[in-house]
């Protein structure tokens, strides 16, 4: 099942994102369930995340999201997990 994780950073949280980026990327590599990922950009700066997870179910996506170093560092203002269907690409 593909799940889109759409997260918006808290205002002024760019330093938190930069401080935790290495751990976040290592987590992505270690877990092996990320289909696609990248930051959302606003005004030329990273301001959130879009991560497509390939997991068994929504519960697995919730667990992945809760254990993401970005989430643990308190980076996000809002996180949505939505089932996603790949059509193009």
- What tokens does 41 get? 């950009």
Give CA–CA dist 74/56, Å, rounded. Answer: 26
- CATH, range 2-83: 3.30.70.1060
Give CA–CA dist 76/10, Å, rounded. Answer: 5
- Hey, which residues does 48 pair with through a beta bridge? 8, 40
pLDDT of 89 above 90: no
Q: Which residue has the tokens 């990327």?
A: 25
pLDDT of 24 above 90: yes
Instruction: State the pLDDT at residue 67.
Output: 98
| Threshold 0.95, pTM exceeds | no
Q: What is the pLDDT of residues 29-78, one digit of tens each?
A: 999 999 999 999 999 999 999 999 999 999 999 999 999 999 999 999 99
Report domain extents, the chain: 2-83
Q: Which residue has the tokens 């992945």?
A: 64
Instruction: State the pLDDT at residue 82.
Output: 98
């Amino acid at each position: 099942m593909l799940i889109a994780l759409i997260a918006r950073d808290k205002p002024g949280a760019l330093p938190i994102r930069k401080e935790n980026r290495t751990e976040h990327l290592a987590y992505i590599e270690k877990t092996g369930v990320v289909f696609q990922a990248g930051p959302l950009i606003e005004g030329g700066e990273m301001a959130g995340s879009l991560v497509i997870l390939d997991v068994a179910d929504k519960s697995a996506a919730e667990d992945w999201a809760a254990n993401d170093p970005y989430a643990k560092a308190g980076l996000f203002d809002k996180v949505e997990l939505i089932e996603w269907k790949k059509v193009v690409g």
